[in-house]
Amino acid sequence: MGADPWVLSHTTWKTVRGTDYEIAVLPWGATEAHNLHLPYGTDNYQAAHVAAESAKKAWAAGARVAVLPMIPFGVNTGQLDIRLCINMNPSTQAAVLGDVARSLESEGINKLVILNGHGANDFRPIIRELQPTCGVFICTVNWWNCVDPKPYFDEPGDHAGELETSMMMHLAPNLVSPLSEAGDGKAKKFKVAGLREGWAWAPREWTRVTEDTGVGNPAKATAEKGKKFFDVATTLIGGFLVELAAADLGKMYE
Ligand SMILES: [Zn+2]
């Protein structure tokens, strides 16, 4: 058996045919600019690492979890004027998710967790549409907000801010440029009050909102903060996977 049979990309058929996998986890990221100091793959690194570590913890508790290869493109319709941001429309995501879920269904794996790593990916309406015609129970987790970040960061930020920068300093420090090279992530707010206050919503035109593509100041980021948040988030998600693996899909309500 491979060293980490919960990561499908590292796993052979010899292991797979001998393992009664109960849940698949699909990390889903984005390819986009992250201020001047973090790489385009930031959301992908985070989603893949959070998925793998959560699955490792769940596996240690007896749950048989398979983390599928990460999908690297997210919804980036507001960043089409930023070079090499790659957009995948929600309708394409629906088609991809449907194919993945139906593959699992025909193979007898009936639980799928999307581990989302990008704020503009919203799988809820996609799941609502897919669920009635698919025998796989599908749910979605945004890893960055399953734990309240406030106790862990001075100013978590929205995009390439203190939270994401700290996570990347912990997970992939060789890919993080010195903070002295980062912009301050200053973002303009909507003039219209309802949109500014967040109870009305419209997507933001990114290059009109921020000059360095960041939203949130990364200045106080540290690898230690990232490690703490990573540990607490993966422990929570790992526990969720254990509970979901044991859940009877016919008896999901109290
Ligand atoms: Zn990000």
Is the pLDDT score of 115 beyond 70? yes
Contacts of 112 (CB under 8 A, 6+ apart): 23, 24, 25, 26, 100, 101, 104, 136, 137, 138, 139
Report how far ligand 1's centroid is from the alpha carbon of 216 (Å). 11
Strand 23-28 vs strand 65-67: parallel, antiparallel, or unpaired? parallel
Of 2, 46, 54, 28, give the one whose Cα is nearest residue 239. Answer: 54
Report how far ligand 1's centroid is from the alpha carbon of 29 (Å). 8
- Residue 218 tokens read as 């990364």
DSSP 82: S
Q: Which helix (H) or strand (E) holds 113?
A: strand 111-116
Is the pLDDT score of 122 beyond 60? yes
180-195, pLDDT tens digit by residue?
A: 999 999 999 999 999 9
Report how far ligand 1's centroid is from the alpha carbon of 12 (Å). 31
Strand 111-116 vs strand 137-142: parallel, antiparallel, or unpaired? parallel
How sure is the predictor about 3, in pLDDT bands with cuts at 50, 70 and 90? confident
Q: How many CA atoms lie within 13 A of 84 on its CB side?
A: 5
61-110, pLDDT tens digit by residue?
A: 999 999 999 999 999 999 999 999 999 999 999 999 999 999 999 999 99
Report how far ligand 1's centroid is from the alpha carbon of 88 (Å). 15
Report how far ligand 1's centroid is from the alpha carbon of 210 (Å). 14
Percent of the chain with pLDDT over 70: 99
Distance CA 39, CA 41 (A): 5
Report how far ligand 1's centroid is from the alpha carbon of 42 (Å). 6
Q: Which amino acid is at 254?
A: E
pLDDT value of position 211: 93
